[in-house]
């Protein structure tokens, strides 16, 4: 019975199902969440760790794929001096974690939307955008382009899957932009993302194009400014920024 006092966004106890490496310092953690009712691609959860003395630390993590029943995935980048990520990247199956969600109806992609979609990721900003691509595999008809900025080839999340998706799906093109060290046979010298990296061949900023940008705040501000200078309407750009705390 809804007595009006029940929390709208309750904390739930999730159980770790497994943890698999994406890179040397990032892991995808699968969680079983009793009563999980599904979510939209792009949404996130809040996750809470509480110490024995009652001190607690909270972080937001994007969901990296559509829900599989009551199972959800997050990908966590380990920040060496962080409070939460070093613990999360070390969790083992069976351990319990408190979380709440799904959260956020703004930075989401719905399969019914017909638009052309440009995804722009900075580092671990790929996570919610990967959820959108994985959702598109299941349903939808939108065309996707992904521009993914990473330091080096070793920092690419979901590398194999992105490679095979690009090979097998005519609705997707992926461009990886290396900022520190490029992959062999890459013509572009390493460097921060530029206007040219954000231009999609044969796509113009008008005509129902929607852009999703996710990454550290500095990356998002820089990419968004460049997109607007190229004629993209601010109202067609949706952004999600994250900070350095891990």
Residue ranges in contact with other proteins by CB under 8 A? 7-9, 44, 46, 60, 100-101, 103-107, 216-218, 221, 238-245
Angle at 212 between CA 176 and CA 126, to 5 degrees: 45
- Rounded to whole angstroms, the Cα distance separating 237 from 221 reads 12
CB of 188 to other proteins, least distance (A): 23
CB of 218 to other proteins, least distance (A): 6
CB of 21 to other proteins, least distance (A): 26
**Neighbouring-strand partners of residue 224:** none
Q: Between residues 94 and 243, which has the closer beta carbon with respect to other proteins?
A: 243
CB of 211 to other proteins, least distance (A): 13
For residues 151 and 23, the answer to whether their CB atoms sit within 8 Å is no
Q: Between residues 15 and 238, which has the closer beta carbon with respect to other proteins?
A: 238
Q: Between residues 9 and 195, which has the closer beta carbon with respect to other proteins?
A: 9
CB of 100 to other proteins, least distance (A): 6
Q: Between residues 42 and 66, which has the closer beta carbon with respect to other proteins?
A: 42
Q: Between residues 66 and 215, which has the closer beta carbon with respect to other proteins?
A: 215
């Amino acid at each position: 019975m809804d007595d009006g006092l029940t929390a709208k966004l309750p904390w739930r106890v999730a159980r770790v199902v497994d943890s698999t490496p994406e890179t040397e310092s990032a892991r995808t953690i699968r969680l079983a969440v009793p009563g999980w009712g599904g979510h939209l691609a792009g949404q996130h959860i809040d996750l809470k760790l509480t110490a024995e003395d009652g001190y607690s630390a909270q972080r937001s993590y994007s969901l990296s794929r559509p829900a599989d029943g009551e199972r959800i995935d997050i990908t966590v980048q380990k920040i060496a001096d962080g409070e939460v990520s070093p613990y999360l990247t070390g969790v083992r199956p069976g351990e319990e974690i408190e979380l709440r969600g799904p959260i956020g109806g703004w930075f989401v992609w719905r399969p019914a939307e017909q638009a052309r979609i440009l995804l722009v990721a900075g580092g671990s900003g790929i996570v919610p955008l990967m959820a959108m691509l994985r959702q598109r595999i299941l349903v939808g008809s939108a065309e996707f382009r992904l521009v993914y900025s990473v330091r080096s080839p070793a920092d690419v999340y979901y590398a194999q899957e992105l490679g095979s998706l690009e090979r097998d799906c005519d609705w997707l093109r992926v461009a990886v932009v290396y900022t520190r060290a490029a992959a062999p046979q890459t013509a572009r010298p390493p460097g921060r993302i530029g206007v040219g990296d954000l231009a999609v061949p044969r796509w113009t900023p008008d005509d129902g194009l929607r852009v999703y940008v996710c990454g550290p705040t500095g990356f998002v501000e820089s990419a968004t400014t460049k997109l607007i200078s190229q004629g993209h309407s601010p109202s067609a750009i949706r952004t999600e920024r994250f900070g350095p705390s891990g």
